Amino acid sequence: MKILSVNAGSSSLKFQLYEMPEENALVSGVFERIGIDSSFYTIKFNGEKIKKEVDLPTHKDAFTILLKELMDLGIVKNLDEIKGVGHRIVQGGSYFDRTVVVDEDVIAKIDELSALAPLHNPAAIVGIRASQEVMPNAVQTVVFDTAFHQTMPEETYLYALPYEWASEYKIRRYGAHGTSHKYVSARMNEILGRNNTKLITCHIGNGASISAVKDGKCINTSMGLTPNAGLIMGSRCGDIDATIVPYMMDKLKVNSKEMDTILNKQSGLLGVSGISSDSRDIEEGISKGNHRCELAQKMYVRRIIDYIAKYYVELGGCDAIIFTAGVGENSISTRREVLDGLSVLGVKVDEERNNVRGKETLITSDDSSIPAYIVPTDEELMIARDTYNLCI
């Protein structure tokens, strides 16, 4: 059965087609600059990358071209072969704790939550509508970044703010990257051969979050109401003293929107180093002796260690630490520095095992008190799995 994973942004549409349940990725690609000029798409198929420039006024045009390409390439004979389409949704609020089949009530709720994800939820609805029009016979599902974190207890997801804010304004911790945390924790349980585990999953990419996962369920996660909270990220500040915000708004005479931009786009590794949000550039700066790059990296690593230590205590121990996403899978030095910072717990990195990028592997020594692994994430596959399960 063919299942399509879709991630629609306001001007982009990423896709990956799978043969399920075999989990074979058949083709993937991205449509870019939808609704603006110079639009184009790229498709990866059979080890080749095709790039074409076309007019893409709407997401519906992107889906129409995608389906024509799939037929021209001989990947599908007709559209009805695609039985399910899974759409990635950033914010599911308290409404959704799992993947669901789309209906009008589901769309209304995603729309209602747009205030919490103004860049993402409205774009996803456009993607769903376009997909429904072009593939009316396929089962459309929605897979939420927040769903995996809905198992957090009330004392964990509430903020110590006026109690009514949670019900009146939906102010609470929702977390993010849930599809990734779910995927890597499920994979880790497979590797360990059991489900009654205590795992700390570190999704460290440009955006970054850590989750505590007990017996396959999330009990805490570092992101909050928005993906700005928790770890220091490429250009997001992570946890700070909230009072800095009104204080600096007064000092700089900036409004809330401008302050939001500073906290999300001009802070983190970029803000401290003054050089880049990309950890490869920070590593290069460090190799040249740049003090602010060294400082940014120390702060970045310190925060990851803090969260792992906090969740170790909260879980009452830990069966495995998992690194995933861009930095987690590829930055040898960041992983080493984090694990060295946990040596007081008896964690021991194995330099040789850790000397890899993007490969599922154990990176600690055999006498480490807690094993640490790299588990490459695959959010698209997780979306396809959930969607397949709702199609059979």
Of 130 and 304, CB closest to ligand ADP: 304
Q: Are 84 and 101 in contact (CB under 8 A)?
A: no
Residues 6+ away with beta carbon under 8 Å from 334: 204, 279, 297, 300, 301, 304, 327, 328
Alpha-helix residue ranges (DSSP H) falling in the chain: 59-72, 104-112, 121-134, 154-157, 164-169, 178-192, 244-252, 256-265, 268-273, 279-287, 291-315, 325-330, 332-340, 351-354, 379-391
Of 150 and 330, CB closest to ligand ADP: 330
Contact mark string toward ligand ADP, 261..290, x via CB under 6 A: -----------------xxx----------
Q: Verify binding: residue 91, ligand ADP, rule CB under 6 A.
A: no
Q: Return the residue of 325, 339, 372, 382 that touches ligand ADP, per CB under 6 A.
A: 325
Q: How far is the CB of 205 from ligand ADP (least distance, A)?
A: 2
Which parts of 343-362 interact with ligand ADP (CB under 6 A)?
357
Q: Verify binding: residue 326, ligand ADP, rule CB under 6 A.
A: yes
Q: How far is the CB of 116 from ligand ADP (least distance, A)?
A: 19
Sheet architecture: strand order including 198-204:
217-221, 208-214, 198-204, 320-324, 372-374, 361-362
Q: Verify binding: residue 327, ligand ADP, rule CB under 6 A.
A: yes
Question: How many residues of this chain bind ligand ADP (CB under 6 A)?
Answer: 13
Q: Return the residue of 330, 354, 364, 368 that touches ligand ADP, per CB under 6 A.
A: 330
Q: Cβ–Cβ contacts within 10 Å for residue 333, how many?
A: 15
Contact mark string toward ligand ADP, 22..61, x via CB under 6 A: ----------------------------------------
Please calculate the CA angle 179-180-185 and round it to the nearest 5 degrees: 105
Of 85 and 327, CB closest to ligand ADP: 327
Phi-psi region of 208 (alpha: psi -120 to 50; beta: other; left: phi over 0): beta
Phi-psi region of 175 (alpha: psi -120 to 50; beta: other; left: phi over 0): left
Which parts of 203-222 interact with ligand ADP (CB under 6 A)?
205-207
Q: How far is the CB of 206 from ligand ADP (least distance, A)?
A: 4
Locate 32 and state its tokens: 């870019």
Residue whose C-beta lies closest to ligand ADP: 326
Three-state DSSP class for 238? Answer: coil
Q: Return the residue of 331, 354, 364, 368 that touches ligand ADP, per CB under 6 A.
A: 331
Contact mark string toward ligand ADP, 364..383, x via CB under 6 A: --------------------
Three-state DSSP class for 342? Answer: coil
User: Is 241 assigned a catalytic role?
Assistant: no
Check 145, 319, 378, 386 and give the catalytic one: 145
Of 330 and 364, CB closest to ligand ADP: 330
Q: Cβ–Cβ contacts within 10 Å for residue 275, how many?
A: 16
Q: How far is the CB of 389 from ligand ADP (least distance, A)?
A: 25
Taking the alpha carbons at both ends of the chain, their separation in whole angstroms is 9
Q: Return the residue of 175, 234, 238, 271 that touches ligand ADP, per CB under 6 A.
A: 234
Give the separation between CA 107 and CA 109, rounded to whole angstroms: 5
Q: Are 191 and 184 in contact (CB under 8 A)?
A: no
Nearest to 305 by CA among 274, 335, 330: 335
Give the separation between CA 333 and CA 7, rounded to whole angstroms: 31
Q: Name the one range near ligand ADP by CB under 6 A: 48-56, 124-132, 323-331, 364-372.
A: 323-331
Q: Name the one range near ligand ADP by CB under 6 A: 103-111, 189-197, 291-299, 327-335.
A: 327-335
Locate 42 and state its tokens: 């790229």
Give catalytic residues, as residue numbers.
Answer: 145
Residues of this chain that interact with ligand ADP (CB under 6 A) are 205-207, 234, 278-280, 325-327, 330-331, 357
